[in-house]
Amino acid sequence: MMNNAIETRGLRIYRGRTTVIDGLDLTVPGGAIVGLLGPSGSGKTTLMRAVVGVQILAGGSVNVFGQSAGSASLRHRVGYMTQRASIYDDLSVRQNLRYFARVQGAPRSDVERVIDRTDLSGQADRLARSLSGGQASRVSLAAAMLGSPDLLVLDEPTVGLDPVLRGDLWAIFRRLAEEGTTLLVSSHVMDEATRCDRLLLMREGDLIADTTPEQLLTTTGADTAEDAFLRIIETDDAGPNHSIGGRGGRRASRSGRLSPTRLLAVGKGRVQRKKGPQ
Amino acid sequence: MTPMRTLATAGRVLLQIRNDPRTIALLLVVPSLLIGLVAWIFDETEVFATIGPAMLALFPFIVMFLVTSISTLRERRSGTLERLLSMPLGRGDFILGYTLAFGILAVVQTAVAVAYATLVCGLEIEGSVWMLFVVAIADALLGTSLGLLASAFARTEFQVVQFMPALVFPQILLGGIFLPRDQLPEVLETIGDWLPLSHAIDALTAVASGDEDSSYILLRILFIGWWILAAIIIGSLTLRRRTQ
């Protein structure tokens, strides 16, 4: 049990009047890079907010390292990188990190360590406002790395970056995982799936597959992760019996959310698109 | 809540302002320019002697209200507040950090404004200059705490700026600058008597004229203090670690 970094049981989350997540059971093993993939609006950010303990839950539980998510002792062990850079524009890189280090209770030397690890030495004294998007998100990552947390929750860290920068970031993630950190990384770029140790595919607030990159490709028979994702969605829409992945079968319990006519319409759209001259 | 994190937050807020020299210049120069303008308008009359102290009460309040409401709104919108609340930062660290930083800023701003009003514009302060600073700091903290509260009820910068006239102008109108409060219609006089800025204006006028003893002034500062406390408590309730 204690080997699991994150466990959710019957998690339910509403945002406003809409149900974002409805009865999610999830287990994330420790010491690995776990990719949380799915289209935008599938509930990835909401789930991550629940894991770091800043999201109001409507029901169920989220445990991180065996403790309730968001409890005071976990705030030292969990690093969170939000989707936007979440740093102070009018402070330099070093000033930003010094402040976050003091809040985190990390030693001062940690600032230079994370600057070095995220390759920001050349920009350390520049105002965050003047950084490029890629540099700003590396500062945000550096801030999350302060105090060497056991779990890093990274919300779309590579969004909008060119392939080289994305490769650099994934190299940093890999090194952190090798040092024993658990990383929960969300992305809507399916190609990034192959860089993870485990994959959680989300759609409309539900987990539609809990698998590994190799397993994903072999079970679906697809060539690319993106193609595999599309195939899973199709089987998922077709009915619970065809689901792929350990947990897909539970969708039957909440099929009431999609009316039969809507399901039919979605299915028709797919068929037509497949036959079209693409 | 820890002193280390409160001080770190205050230091960070001051550092942000230090990185923005134009804001510093505006903060320090604008009050003096306006005081100079009023002194010039009422040249060769006795009016500046009564309005001058009240103006010293207005600036820290208005400026700190605006600066705090906009900077905390920015924290809410940019995601930095969400990051901080997922870290071991207490809500009190955040609020007291801001209060401390803007309190210090208010002292500097008031020092410049008072020096200009007395040395250049010829405003006479009969009472204790120290007391004047205490009132100005209380005023600034009032602006900070109300600004913090206002930012919780605004989604955008446009909205938060509208809170300034909504929360600040009535206090100026009913505070006794335009017409002494005892000459206002009875209902407005009662409302004016309960507004914090009225007491700040009373206290500064008393300091300038030297007519009242220090217990009169302290009572007024105490009244402002209750408002600050109430605004901070309500403001900290709006600062939720968990949100929808």
Summarize pLDDT for B155-191 with one digit per residue, the tens.
Answer: 888 898 898 889 888 998 998 888 888 999 999 999 9
Q: Which has the higher per-residue pLDDT, A255 or B192?
A: B192
CB pair distance less than 8 Å for A103 and B8: yes
> Which pLDDT band, with edges at 50, 70 and 90, does A272 fall under?
very low
Q: Compute the mean pLDDT over every residue in chain A, rounded to the nearest whole number.
A: 82
CB pair distance less than 8 Å for A103 and B88: yes
Instruction: State the sign of the Cα–Cα–Cα–Cα dihedral A98, A102, A106, A107.
Output: positive
Q: Assess whether pLDDT exceeds 50 at residue A270.
A: no
Q: Assess whether pLDDT exceeds 50 at residue A201.
A: yes
Tell me how far apart the 2 most distant CA atoms of chain B are, in Å: 60
Query: What pLDDT, on the 0 to 100 scale, is given for residue A162?
Result: 83
CB A55 within 8 A of CB B240: no
CB pair distance less than 8 Å for A102 and B5: yes
Token readout for B165 is 């006239």
CB pair distance less than 8 Å for A88 and B80: yes
Query: What pLDDT, on the 0 to 100 scale, is given for residue A155?
Result: 93
Please write the tens of the pLDDT for every residue from B62-113: 988 998 899 989 998 888 998 998 899 988 899 999 989 988 988 898 889 9
To the nearest whole percent, how much of chain A has pLDDT over 70? 85
Query: What pLDDT, on the 0 to 100 scale, is given for residue B227?
Result: 94
Over the range B115-142, which residues count as b (16 or more CB within 10 Å of their CB) and which as e? Answer: ebbbeebebebebeeebbbbbbbbbbbb
CA–CA dist B71, B147 (Å, integer): 9
> Which pLDDT band, with edges at 50, 70 and 90, does A159 fall under?
confident
Cβ neighbours around B228 below 10 Å, total: 20
Which chain A residues are closer than 8 Å to B243 by Cβ? 54-56
Which chain A residues are closer than 8 Å to B4 by Cβ? 102
To the nearest whole percent, how much of chain A has pLDDT over 90? 49
Angle at A1 between CA A180 and CA A186, to 5 degrees: 50
- The residue-averaged pLDDT of A20-34 equals 89
CB A186 within 8 A of CB A28: no
Which chain A residues are closer than 8 Å to B80 by Cβ? 86-88
Q: Which of A78, A87, A103 sits opposite B89 (nearest CB)?
A: A103
> Which pLDDT band, with edges at 50, 70 and 90, does A188 fall under?
confident
Q: Which of A70, A75, A91 sits opposite B16 (nearest CB)?
A: A91
- Within an 8 Å CB–CB cutoff, is residue A105 touching chain B? yes
Torsion of CA A153, B90, A94, B147, to 10 degrees: 110
CA–CA dist B77, B131 (Å, integer): 38
Please write the tens of the pLDDT for every residue from B216-243: 999 999 999 999 999 988 888 888 888 8
Contacts of B33-36 with C-beta under 8 Å, sequence gap 24+, read: B34/B59, B35/B113, B35/B116, B35/B117, B35/B121, B35/B123, B36/B116, B36/B120, B36/B121
Which chain A residues are closer than 8 Å to B86 by Cβ? 52-54, 70, 75, 78, 80
- The residue-averaged pLDDT of A58-74 equals 91
Which chain A residues are closer than 8 Å to B242 by Cβ? 53-56, 70
CB A78 within 8 A of CB B83: no
Instruction: State the sign of the Cα–Cα–Cα–Cα dihedral B140, B141, B145, B146.
Output: negative
Cβ neighbours around A178 below 10 Å, total: 10
Query: What pLDDT, on the 0 to 100 scale, is given for residue B133?
Result: 84
CB A20 within 8 A of CB A49: no
Query: Model pTM?
Result: 0.84
> Which pLDDT band, with edges at 50, 70 and 90, does A31 fall under?
confident
Mutate to test the interface with B, among A15, A55, A75, A88 (most CBs of B within 10 A): A88
The fold of A4-77+149-275 is Rossmann fold (3.40.50)
Please write the tens of the pLDDT for every residue from B15-65: 999 999 998 999 889 989 999 998 999 888 888 888 888 888 888 899 889
Q: Which of A56, A86, A95 sits opposite B243 (nearest CB)?
A: A56
CB pair distance less than 8 Å for A95 and B15: yes
CB A163 within 8 A of CB A132: no
- Mean pLDDT check: name the lowest of A235-239, B139-143, B204-208: A235-239
Query: What pLDDT, on the 0 to 100 scale, is given for residue A239?
Result: 57
Token readout for A8 is 């959710």
Å from A192 to nearest chain B CA?
Answer: 25
**What's phi and psi for A182, nearest 5 deg?**
-90, 130
Mutate to test the interface with A, among B73, B75, B244 (most CBs of A within 10 A): B244
Query: Distances from the Cα of A49 to the Cαs of A14, A62, A142, B18, in angstroms?
Result: 13, 11, 19, 33
Å from B99 to nearest chain A CA?
Answer: 17
Q: Provide the residue count of chain B.
A: 244
Q: How far is CA B160 from the centre of its chain?
A: 16
Q: Assess whether pLDDT exceeds 70 at residue A269.
A: no
Token readout for A145 is 């790395």
Å from A278 to nearest chain B CA?
Answer: 41
Query: What pLDDT, on the 0 to 100 scale, is given for residue A243?
Result: 42
CB pair distance less than 8 Å for B244 and A104: no
Taking 3-state DSSP, the helix, strand and coil percentages for chain B, each rounded to the nearest 5, stand at 80, 0, 20
- The residue-averaged pLDDT of A138-157 equals 94
CB pair distance less than 8 Å for B83 and A86: yes
Q: Assess whether pLDDT exceeds 80 at residue A27.
A: yes
Å from B39 to nearest chain A CA?
Answer: 36
Query: What pLDDT, on the 0 to 100 scale, is given for residue A267?
Result: 33
CA–CA dist B48, A6 (Å, integer): 67
- The residue-averaged pLDDT of A189-199 equals 87
CB pair distance less than 8 Å for B9 and A103: yes
- Within an 8 Å CB–CB cutoff, is residue B45 touching chain A? no
- Within an 8 Å CB–CB cutoff, is residue A12 touching chain B? no
3-state secondary structure of A242: helix
Q: Which has the higher per-residue pLDDT, A236 or A121?
A: A121
